[in-house]
Structure 1
Amino acid sequence: MPDSIHDTLSAYYDFWFSCNALYEKWAKRQGITVNTLFVIYTVDAYPERCNQRLICEKLMLPKQTVNTILEALTKKGIVEKKADPSDKRNKRIVFTRTGTEYAGRLLKDLGAFEEKALGAMTREEREDFIRTSQIMLARLEEALNTDS
C-alpha cells in the first residue's frame, strides 16, 4: 500500500495507464481503435442529442480526430448525420440500421468484458472503487479550481 502522496500518484498512474491499455487491446481485438469504440459508445449513450461537439466534450478528443472517426464510420454505413430539429446548424449523429446492429453487438460484448471483471469483485469492493473514484474526481476538480 502506498505510504506517500508520490507513491499514491505513481500507483494511480499505473492503474490509469494499464486500464487504458486494456481497453485499447480489447478494441483492437474487435478491429477498431479505442477512440472509435468510445465514439460508438457515446452515440449509443446520447441517441437524441449526439453531435460532434458532444462527442468531443465527453471524450476530450480534438474535433479533427472525432471528424475522422465519424467519416470512417459513415463510409462503413454505421452512422449518418441528420439535421437536428432543435438546431438546424448542427447535425445529429445517429446509427444506421446496420450501425444499430453493429453497435448493439459491440457494446454487448464490451459489457460482458466489463461485467466479467466487475463480477470478480465483491459488492463492497465495487462500491469502494466507485466511492474512491468519485472522491478523487472531486478533489482533482477542487485543486483545478483553486489553482491560479
Structure 2
Amino acid sequence: MEKLYQLSDSYNAIWLETSQLYEAWARQRGISFYELLVILSITEADGKVLQKDICQRFTIPKQTVNTVIKTLIRKGWLELEVSEQDRRSRNLCLTAEGRENTAQIVQELQNHEAQVWLQLGLDRAEHLIEYTALYNRYFREVSDKNARS
C-alpha cells in the first residue's frame, strides 16, 4: 500500500508542476493563469462563450472567472453581448484588439507545446494522453463506486 501512496504523491507533484509551468508561461506574457484559461476558452469557441461554460470546463469558481472578465474588459480585449439563446446571459466576445492579442498568445502557446510534443516524440506523447485518460476514467469509476457504497 505504501508504494501506491508514493505513486499518488509522485503523480500529484507532476500534475502540480505542470500547472505551475503553465502559470509561469502565462505570467511571462503579462497575463495570469486564469486569464490564459479564459482566453483559450473564448478563442476555441470562435470568440463567443458564456461565463458558466468556462466555469464548468475548467472547474473555476464563478467569482474568479468574473474577475478575469473584468480585467480583460479593462484591457479592451473583451466585451459583453446579450445572448440570443438566453437574454439574461452575456456572451464574452473578443474586441478587435482582443482578437489580435489573444491570437498571438494562443499561437505562442501552440508553438511552445508543439516543441514539447516533438521532444517527447509521437509515440510517448500518444501514450501520455492515453494513460492520463485511462487514469481519469478509473478515478471517475472508483469515485462513482464509492458514492454508491
> Which deviations, in whole Å up to 9, do the C-alpha atoms of 1:38-84 show, x marking residues without a partner?
11101111237511100111111111111111011011110111011
Deviation beyond 2 Å, 4+ runs, structure 1: none
Residue 131 (structure 1) shift: 0.5
Q: Identify the residue that residue 104 of structure 2 maps to in structure 1.
A: 105
Report the Cα distance in structure 2 between the residues aligned to 1:45 and 1:144, rounded to whole angstroms.
30
> What's the secondary structure of 2:132's corresponding residue?
helix
- Map residues 104-123 of structure 1 onto 2, 5 A cutoff: 104-123=103-122
TM-score by length of 1: 0.93
Does structure 1 conserve the Cα–Cα contact (< 8 Å) formed by 2:48 and 2:94?
no
* Match runs of 1:24-43 below 5 Å: 24-43=23-42
- Matching of residues 91-102 of structure 1 within 5 Å: 91-102=90-101
Q: Is the 8 A contact 2:51 2:66 kept in 1?
A: yes
Q: Partner of 2:87: helix, strand, or coil? A: strand
**Match for residue 66 of structure 2?**
67
* Ranges in structure 2 where 5+ consecutive residues have no aligned partner: none
Displacement of 1:4 after TM fit? 2.4
Residues in 2 aligned to 1:144 and 1:99: alpha-carbon distance in whole angstroms: 40
TM-score, normalised on structure 2?
0.93
Question: Is the 2:47–2:94 Cα contact (8 Å) retained in structure 1?
Answer: no
| Match of residue 53 from structure 1 | 52
Tell me the residue number matched to 1:12. 11
Provide Cα deviations, 1:11-49, integer angstroms capped at 9, x if missing partner: 101210111111111011001110111111011112375
Report the count of equivalent residues: 146
For structure 1, the 5+ residue unaligned runs are: none
The percent identity for this pair of structures is 25
